[in-house]
Each structure stands twice: as C-alpha cells, then as structure tokens.
Structure 1
C-alpha cells in the first residue's frame, strides 16, 4: 500500500494481507542499500499468523519518494511519522542492520509508542570499514561485492539457498543495483556516524530480543556484547537468539528459523 509520510509518498508492504490496525502491529525496517523486499518471507509469515505488518521502503529507497535521510535520528523520526500516517498508536519494531539502529533509536525516543523491540544483525556503535565506505562512494560494484562476501556464508555464495532455484547473492546484488546512486554511501555513513546506540539501549523499557547469525561477519557475536549488556541492564531486559548456520543476511539464509523466532518473541508473554 502507499502512505503519505512527511508529505511524500511511501510504499509499505503488508505481507499479502490487508492492513488491519485493530491487530497487533509490527514494523519491519530494512538495512542499508535495501528495501522492504528483504523482509518478504517474514512479512508474509507474520501477516498470516495474527499480526498486521508494515514493511516500508525508507525515504528514497525502493518505491518510496523523497531524498534518503542522512542520520539514524532523522530516520527514527520518519518511523514515528509512518505510524502517524498509518493511524497506529503502538507497534512492535523489528530492524535489520541499519534498520536495527533505527528501531533502537525510535524505541528510545518514543517509548510509549513501542511495545517490543527486535534487533537483527545489530551492534552499537556500528562502525563501517573505511574501504567499504570509500567503495560505496566511488565504486558501487566493488562495494556490492564486499557486502555480498561479508553478508553470506560460503555455502550461500556457492549457490545454497532455502528457496530452490534462487541465488541469494545474485538476488541481493540486483536489489542493491536498482537503488539510486549515492544511496548506499548515505546509509553506511549514517550507520558509521551514529554514536548514541548504547545510551538509547539503556533507556529501553520494553522487552527486546536480539537475533544474531551464528556465522555473521558484519556484526559478529563477539561485537554484540556491549549492546546486549546495555539492553539486559535496561528496564525491558533482553534475550539473545542465535540463528544457526546463518550469516548477516539471516532473513534470506534461514527464513524459517528467523520467522519462527520473531513470531515466538512477539507472541510471548511479558517477563
């Protein structure tokens, strides 16, 4: 469906079901250089299991108009505006990579609007390697190659896929290629610049789950500890869920495991 957010058209995928704001709502926020389609499997799964799904293309991404926003804080403001446009008072937020920082910041600055928080492939701070930043600015092809190499396990790079006949790295490459020039550099710069993550985590007052790919090279398990500790010590608490055999692109590499973990957490009783 299409919504008008901050006076600009925004495309929002609802998982193949009509959006019903009377049901519990979950917002799925994509990462750098991507759009809503990275959530297709999870969006459909959740939408057919009692949830209303909003999986937006962020401004300037995919089918959404407007200029890409250059900071995590401004993107969090946009997510709040999205909720307003959809007529939603409260929602659970799920974000992957850059999207996890947006979800985290939104939950910290709008605590009464967020019911639960799911962070996939997340660390804070989220520094981006200088060669990748440079390539995103000057050589998109090289940047896309780096991202595919670091996001997928060796098996996926050799052609393994949970969906027979689909090349996961080829699909991701085409997704990144169809985004506008300069967008990836903008997004990676926003991740690299965001330094408020641990402070935001300390203020989270709703239940949180962190999903981490067992073989994630972009946000490896050892780097997750500072953010996990901050969330564990916050009022809402946190749990860690390891997605076995998956890398950073866990939604594509382990779609069933990720969907089951998300649905289980969203439907679990508060602790």
Structure 2
C-alpha cells in the first residue's frame, strides 16, 4: 500500500490484506537500518486476524521517499502524519529500538490518536557506542558487522520466523546493506544512530503517554538490555513487561514469544 505523507510517497506493508478503515489498526515502526520486513511474522498474523496492519518503510528508506528523520522527534511527526494520511482516528503503535522511541514520542505528541503502545527492544537513554557511531559514518560495512554481533544471540532462528536453516547473520547483513544502498544521498545508518544517541526527551514523553504500554525486552539483548528500560517503565502510567528469550532482533529470534506478547496486549 502506498500513502502520500507530507508530500512524499510512503510504502506500507499491510500483511497481504487490503486496508479497511473499519477495522482496528496497528502500526509497526522499524529501527535503524531496517525496513518493514523485520516484522514479517507479526504483521501477517495481525493482518489475518481482524486487524489493519501498516508497517511503513521510514522516509528515505527503501520504498519510501522523503528526507530520512534526523531525530526521534522528526520520526514521530512522520508517524502522526501517517495516521492522518491513512484517515485513522486511532491506532495501536508497535516500535522496535529506534522505532520504539519514535512510537513513544508519537504517543506523547498525539495521545488522542494512540490506543496502545508496545516498545520492543527499547532503552532510555539509547546510547550508541563511539565505535559504532564512527564506523557507521566512515566504514559502514564494518559497522554492519559490529551491529550484527551486538544484535543477535543465535545463528539460526526458530522455524516460525524466517524458515528452517536461515542464517540470521547473513540475512541481517543483506537487509542492512540493501537499506543503506537504497538512499544514495543520505547515510541512513549514521543518521539513525545519531538520532538514537542524541534523544533526550524520553522520560518527559513517557509521562505524557496516556495509553497502556507494553515493554517487550530480550533477556540476551546486548544493544538494549532489559535494565536499560527502567526509567521508562517507572514513568509509564499503565505499563507491563514481557521478557523473551532472545537478543535485540527478537522479532526473529523469539518470534512466537514476541507475537504472543503483542497478541495478549492488543486483544
């Protein structure tokens, strides 16, 4: 599905089902150097069980045009504009990593539009190591290899994610290289990491969120370890937490656990 958001073409994956404004909607927001495909299992489940699904490629990423967001705040403004472009009065937001901060900031800026907020693999502050920041700018291929090591806790996923025998590192490397190459003008890898590292409004944003909040955290997450979400958990008015047995890319490493947590929360 393609929508025009703030004057630019935006691609949204719908899980293989046509968009129906009469159904409840869940919006999935990806993280740095990812695209809509990281949510493949979760989006298809919801799309085939009574929900609209919108999983956009963020601006300037892959099939979406526009300027890649320079900050969490810019990305949040895009999400709010996406809801308007789709004609949605209200939707649930699910975000991973940078996308989790984006979804939270959107829920803080437009609380009347957000029914539920799920933050997957989140942390605040979401610091990025100096080595990753430097290499994402000057040696992106090296940074991709570093990010792969930090983001994964296993070599092959369970059968319900990418399919038996899939090599997680190779699949992730291919995705990141494809996303990086999709924008010839902006290094979306470095820009995304800078946006994560420089975000300072997390606790204030969570204090303004009015809907229920779910934290889905990975027990073996080296990028955003569970303890790094504590300041946001403390500010959530109606928060609950599920810890799954996976690393940062838990949508592939613990796909069923992530799906069940989202399903229980959004039902």
Contact persistence 1:211–1:242 (CA under 8 A): yes
**1:161/1:168 contact within 8 Å kept:** no
Structure 2 length normalisation: TM-score?
0.95
Deviation at 1:165, TM superposition (A): 2.4
Give how far 1:161 is off.
4.3
What is the rounded CA distance, in whole Å, between the counterparts of 1:85 and 1:224 in structure 2? Answer: 31
Which segments of 5 or more consecutive residues in structure 1 lack a partner in the other structure?
Answer: none
Q: Measure how far apart 1:30 and its partner are.
A: 0.1
Cα deviations across residues 178-210 of structure 1 (Å, max 9, x unaligned)?
A: 123511001011111110011101111110000
Structure 1 residues 168-177 or 113-122, which shifts more? 168-177
Q: Is the 8 A contact 2:28 2:56 kept in 1?
A: yes
Contact kept, 8 Å, 2:157 with 2:252, in 1: the verdict is no
- Describe the SS at the equivalent of 1:178: helix
Tell whether 2:179 aligns with 1:187: no
Aligned to 1:254: 254
In the aligned structure 1, how far is the partner of 2:73 from the partner of 2:57? 17
Counterpart check, 1:96 vs 2:101: no
Cα RMSD for the two superposed structures? 1.0
Q: How many residues align?
A: 259
CA distance in 1, matches of 2:43, 2:103: 16
Which residue is 1:108 aligned to?
108
Tell me the distance in 1 between the aligned counterparts of 2:167 and 2:86: 34
Partner of 1:240 in structure 2?
241
Q: Which residue of 2 aligns with 1:166?
A: 166
Runs (5+) with no aligned partner, structure 2: none
1:92-128 Cα shifts (integer Å, max 9, x gaps): 0000000000000000010100000000000111111
Q: Is the Cα–Cα contact under 8 Å of residues 161 and 167 in structure 1 kept in the other structure?
A: no
What is aligned with 2:144? 144
- 1:34–1:62: 8 Å Cα contact kept in structure 2? no
| Contact kept? 2:2, 2:10, Cα under 8 Å | yes
Give the match for residue 122 of structure 2: 122
What is the Cα deviation at residue 221 of structure 1? 1.3
Partner of 2:83: 83
In structure 1, how many angstroms separate the alpha carbons of the residues matched to 2:146 and 2:83? 34
Post-superposition shift, 1:40?
Answer: 1.0
- Asked if 1:2 is matched to 2:2, the reply is yes
Query: 2:222 pairs with 217, 220, 244, which one?
Result: 217
- Partner of 2:240, secondary structure, is strand
Please tell me whether the aligned partners of residues 36 and 62 of structure 1 are also in contact (alpha carbons under 8 angstroms). no
Distance 1:186 1:175 in 2: 17
CA distance in 2: counterparts of 1:150 and 1:69, whole angstroms: 24
Report the CA distance between 1:62 and its aligned residue. 1.5
Distance 2:254 2:157 in 1: 11
* Alignment TM-score, normalising by the size of structure 1: 0.93
